[in-house]
Amino acid sequence: MRYSDGRHMVDRANTDLTELRRGVLVLAVLSRLRTRKYGYSLRQALVDGGMPIEEGTLYPLLRRLEAQGLLASEWDTEYSPPRRYYRLNAEGKRSLASLRDAWRDQVRVMDALLE
């Protein structure tokens, strides 16, 4: 299939933006889990904050962060079907603080580079 140059540029811009977001995905997720959320409500919170993440990427990421010891989870059976809620644990809070500082340093570096 041949695309016009305009279509190529839009595809390229979308790919670049996705790559850029991928690097801050964990930080964005941790930042929203200071209060407990389940997968869908977390995705909505990220969309509302201007950080849309594909479902297929976000939901497995929650499991991986839990396996890495950054999140705690619990099933809430008041809903049907039951929902699995996630929130930061102590290690997750420490990791969030550390990543937040690193991110702010990176922003300063990038701002200087982009001047």
Partner 1 sequence: MNGNEVIESYVRDVARCLPRKMRNDVALELRALLGDELAAKAHAQGRVPDKVMAMELIKGFGRPAEAAARYHPRPAVIDAADTHHFLIWSLAGAVVLTVLSAVSQAGKVDSGLFLQWLGALVIVFALMGWRRRRSPGALRWKPTRDPHSIPRGLSLLAMVATL
Check binding of 65 to partner 1 (CB under 8 A). no
* Least Å from the CB of residue 114 to partner 1: 32
Q: How many residues in the shown chain lie near partner 1 by CB under 8 A?
A: 16
Check binding of 56 to partner 1 (CB under 8 A). yes
Bridge-based pairing state of the strands 37-38 and 71-76: unpaired
Check binding of 69 to partner 1 (CB under 8 A). no
Spatial contact of 29 and 58, defined as CB atoms under 8 Å apart: yes
Q: 110 vs 16, 96, 113, CA distance in Å?
A: 16, 20, 5
Binding site for partner 1 (CB under 8 A): 38-40, 54-57, 59-61, 63, 79, 81-84
